[in-house]
Amino acid sequence: MSLNVVMLGPPGAGKGTQAEWLAREHGIPKVSTGDILRDAVQRGTPLGKAAKAVMDAGKLVGDDIMVGIVRERLEQPDARRGFVLDGFPRTVAQAEALETMLTGRGPLLVLLLDVPSEELVRRLGTRRVCGTCGTNAAPEAPAGARCASCGGELVQRRDDSESVVRERLRVYEAQTSPLVAHYRGRPTFVPVDGNQPTAAVAEALRRAVANAGALTS
């Protein structure tokens, strides 16, 4: 049976790190909507061209284009055994579209990383990314460390200032509450305490995957 996972959680909850680990452990692709959107634009696919036109006009890419790009990605051979989605769905309409994509592919496991707002503000305020290649630095990277990928200087992202972070969290809560309500109550919806060391969160996710398999087998 395939392992189909959606990772939910606010900015700074560690979704990307945990999604990467989960995908690697199960030999399935991590599907980041930001990555596949940029790839579609770069390759000049019909949906990529449509997305570029929207973004060039300063607008947000709509559900129809995002659903199409995700559908194309999940139809690729490496996603037949499953996937870990990071950044999709963001709306109930996208969640409903995802359900149709999964017909005949097994259940959907929805993992919600739960972290208190003040901890998120602290994490994002100390987060560093490479100013050259954009790679996130490891949380434990010491002051003065360089990028592990390219050796570039580590800097603070502009959108990680406290005022911007608090606004991002407010927007996230407003946009995501209906989505969480859509999934809550399912046996395969699992909230996980993300306010733990990275390894402890990974172990909690491992248990969630194992429990979901027992529920659906």
pLDDT per position as a tens digit, 96-113 = 999 999 998 889 999 999
206 is catalytic: no
Q: How confident is the model at residue 119 (pLDDT cuts 50, 70, 90)?
A: very high
**Residue 90 annotated in active site:** yes
Task: Indicate which residue of 52, 127, 170, 206 is catalytic.
Answer: 127
For position 149, which CATH number holds? 3.40.50.300
- 87-110 exposure pattern, b = at least 16 Cβ within 10 A, e = fewer: bbbbbeebbebbeeeeeebebbbb
- Which of these is catalytic: 71, 81, 105, 157? 157
127 is catalytic: yes
Containing structural domain, residue 10: 3-216
Concerning whether 30 is annotated as a catalytic residue, the answer is no
Number of domains making up the chain: 1
Q: Catalytic: which of 15, 30, 73, 123? A: 15
CA dihedral 55, 74, 93, 32 (to 10 degrees): -50
Q: What CA–CA distance (Å, rounded) separates 40 from 48?
A: 4
- Kindly report the pTM of this predicted structure: 0.82
Per-residue confidence (pLDDT) for residue 62, from 0 to 100: 86
DSSP structural state of residue 137: P
Query: Residues 40-78: pLDDT tens digits?
Result: 888 998 998 998 898 888 777 888 999 999 999 999 999
**Active-site option among 52, 71, 81, 90:** 90
Could you confirm whether 52 is annotated as catalytic? no
